[in-house]
Structure 1
Amino acid sequence: MIRYLHSHDPTVDILLTENGWCGNEEVENWDQLRYYKAFVEQVHKAVVEEKIPVVGYTAWSFLDNYEWGSYGPRFGLYYVNFTKETGSPNFDKPKSTDLERIPRPAAKWFHKVATTKCLDGWDELELSAGSSIAHPAEHLGFSAPVIVIAAMALIAAVVTFKRRLGYQRLPQAVSS
């Protein structure tokens, strides 16, 4: 997409805004981190190798938020601990858990990139958080979506086979 925009008007600077991934509802959202790493790596290649004038990049969004009539999906770099009532009845004395902001792995990674100005060392952050627990599907050599799709295909095949066991073929008319 960056290349496409640049090819249509190479004189214009490109500002990438509201780019994000919700992944899952968990605080330890490793899918979101992998998405941002891959995307920022491609932006870096576009700027450094292809000399495309990308002047800025913003993630969507800084916090989980309320939009389109819902608190989901959660796109925030910071997980927000929404209560069922989305706040305390006593606003002058909020509960300690009301709207607590908890940094996700992607927020920690962006902090590291911003402070070190370096994209290297991505694996260190994952290893420090116990990636063997966070990425069980990777040990199988498949991503979670691939496993889910394969399981759904297998279930569909079994259901189709079972249905056809009860059917009898119609006799074919013999033509003379």
Structure 2
Amino acid sequence: MAIKAGVDTIEHCNEATDEVFREMRRRGTIFVPTLAVLRNSPDFDNISKRVKRAHDLGVRLAAGGDTGAFPHGEGALEMELMIRAGVPVPDVLEACIVGGWESCGKKKSGFLFGSIEKGYRADIIALETDPRTDEGALRKVNFVMKDARVWKRDGRPVDFVEEQAETRPTPGSEDESDWVLI
């Protein structure tokens, strides 16, 4: 019913049928699987298969994780789970880079993302290895570019997820951030 009413996105959607997915594709409804949120479900294998099926049927995917449902800095987990579900790596990266922007209203968000060209945000995450050949690549961050400014952690490559717990400063402390603008 929500799809026929014209919603832009459907989150979770873990019990959708092929008919529902076909309608989503037909109407351009974006599917945000939120696998990281559902990963502890006893039905997770079937949920993962539904995500792969949606992809195979041509449903537009976006990576999202229900903010607050898992620790900040674990955004790679959603992408890793989509890859494990069988969605090809390039399509998962597009779901993260472009799908999220599309699900937030594209230009209505006030920004242009998802392409390296004039007028688009210069927001880039550079990885140490290729995610098509290295399952852990999404956690091996070399640098983050935000608004065309390059950031590294302490002037060295970033391994944000693994270092986060070890180096998280006390909020309000003098050393609240150890990210260095290069």
TM-score by length of 2: 0.33
Which is helix-richer, 1 or 2? 1
Larger Rg: 1
Which has the bigger relative contact order, CA under 8 A and spacing at least 6? 1
TM-score by length of 1: 0.34
